[in-house]
Amino acid sequence: MKLFLGPVTGLVIVATLMPGALLAGPRGLLRSLPERSMVTVGEGVRVAALFAGLSKGELDAAAAHKALVEARLLEPTVATSFGSTLKRGLASYLFFRAMRMKGGWVCRVFGPSPRYAYKEFVCRQLVLAEGENTPIPGGELLSMLKLSSDLRRSGGAR
């Protein structure tokens, strides 16, 4: 059942949440994600830049990474291997930084990390607790995008 609902949920999110320009053409940024079993780091960086409002989906992975670094949402050494598989911890970290979350006192003292962001997102039920270093499927990435967007709209992201 979970395998069926992931792509269906992803398609509903894509159809209702994103502007048509992001879905246009066969290579739209979010069109192919729901049925994918794994997402690359480059695609995750592009989605994070889109979520942070730094792009409209037209940027490639390197330009999206540069935009996130220039906006001081990402360190220059994080998420640079664009062809590798995106893990849940790094995906949580990208969204954590894109939402400009402050975190608790541990995060404020030691700085954010993929592990901290993953634990925060599991606690807020934005991502499944299946392990920080497991690959994240495309449908779950889109679900995380929708839940994070809802959290930001409600003012719950601190």
**Ramachandran assignment for 80, one of left (phi > 0), alpha (psi -120 to 50 degrees), beta (any other):** alpha
Percent with pLDDT over 70 in the chain: 79
Residue pair 100/75 in contact (Cβ under 8 Å)? The answer is no
Q: What pLDDT score was predicted for residue 2?
A: 52
Indicate whether 48 pLDDT > 80: yes
Average pLDDT over residues 5-24: 46
Q: Tell me the sheet residues that pair with 40.
A: 85
131 φ, ψ (degrees, to nearest 5): 115, 135
What's this model's pTM, rounded to 2 decimal places? Answer: 0.76
Tens-place pLDDT, residues 3-13: 544 544 544 44
Q: Compute the distance between CA of residue 60 and CA of residue 76 in angstroms, rounded to an integer.
A: 16
Domain residue extents for the chain: 2-154
Mean of all residue pLDDT scores within the chain = 78
Count of helices and strands (H, E) across the chain: 8, 0
Amino acid type, 128 = L
Average pLDDT over residues 19-30: 49
